[in-house]
Amino acid sequence: MESLRKLEELQKTIMLMQSYGVVSNSSDHDSNRFIASLVLFLIKPCGELDLAKKCALVSDYVPKISSGFLQKASICLSQKGFQQHNVGEEFQINCVDKSDSDFLQSDFEEMAMIGLDSVQRANSTLEDFCRSYFMFHGMDVNKPNEIFKYLPLLSFTESYIYQLDSLNEKTLHAPRSGEKFLERRAKEVEPMFISKFAHVFKTDPFRPLADLLGYHGLLTERMREEFKHGEEYWALERMLCCALVNRKEISVEDVIKAIHLKSFDYRVLNLLLYQLRGEQVNEVHMDFLSISEFLVEVADDLFDYEDDVLENNFNILRMFVRIYGPSAPAMVAKYIAQAEEKYSILLKTLDSQLSLEYHRRCEEATREGIVTI
């Protein structure tokens, strides 16, 4: 009888919604049942909450609940003796029933996790980002509260990217073995973490980070695009460096594409900062910073040329030497001149005060020995 009563209640709710145009008569039956169940849940008493407050809560929190989060909740809440502990940003899950260790192992690769080495490596990039990009958000980098307010997620994101980059570098140290190096490395080094992370890298390396950002309502399609650009850059780097070692031909199109993609992490951080501050992306600033990033990457490559050759890293001059031979420096200079011309044009689109601040930052970075524009 109770089941029949609930079915009748659902049907009445569906008919009511149809009469008010909330759902159409042709809507999917399962969808109608789901919406009707939600309406019935919302109108049930819950402490001191009135209907307006309930609607406000739904509006605020439903966008933060991703399908990835619901999948994890579905798995965890069905586990015997489940407990969830507040362990911060790692979105980790613990189960009382120790026999469920298989679940923990299978879920390991889906967590966004970082190591201390990656945090330390990311530190210089984070410092440069704060000092060079905060001004484009009207923020004062000399005010600690403005840095620490957003630092946890910015630091975690950049450290996660560095961790992936470190794994990618390991493949470059054995280019003749190609992609299979990942699998061999996973068997040779520390058991669980490298093995799981290598698998993630070969499938969808940014998914754990994307899930975490989505859980906090910060993920955008543009960030997803930059994650794909990161994967594309690493794939190009492996392909190009492997080709050089094996004396194969490479194309200038792939080289130029790679150098443009290389600063994807700065763009991810910048887009994340827009989200954290609840701001619309400023396309004028993004266009200017994009050409600035290109020039910085080229300058870095010229400065690091010898080290990059020895370590088998991507480097535009190294690639151009293979393509153009003795004319390589002149060809690099040609691309620099084209980019500098565009840089000068875009610089004039900035607010005069912002333009002055950025110029000062470039001079400051040059004095400190940091390659910049």
Q: Is the pTM of this model over 0.85?
A: no
Kindly list the domain boundaries of the chain, sorted by start residue: 1-43, 190-368
Question: Half-sphere exposure of residue 333, counting CA atoms within 13 Å on the CB side?
Answer: 5
Most confident of the ranges 12-26, 40-54, 343-357: 343-357
pLDDT value at position 198? 54
**Hey, what are 248's tokens?**
């194969």
**Hey, what are 115's tokens?**
């190591």
Q: List all residues 6 or more positions away from 325 whose beta carbon is below 8 Å from its beta carbon.
A: none
Most confident of the ranges 28-37, 66-75, 173-182, 354-363: 354-363
| pLDDT tens profile 76-94 | 666 544 444 343 333 333 3
**pLDDT greater than 80 at residue 126:** yes
Nearest-CA neighbor of 160 among 121, 215, 218, 108?
121
Mean pLDDT of the 341-357 span: 96
If one compares 75 and 159, the residue with the highest pLDDT of the two is 159
pLDDT value at position 110? 59
Which range among 60-69, 169-178, 204-213, 291-300 shows the weakest confidence by mean pLDDT? 169-178
Q: Distance between CA 297 and CA 125 in Å, rounded?
A: 13
Query: With pLDDT > 70 as the criterion, what percentage of the chain qualifies?
Result: 78
Which range among 14-23, 203-212, 229-238, 298-307 shows the weakest confidence by mean pLDDT? 14-23
pLDDT value at position 28? 73
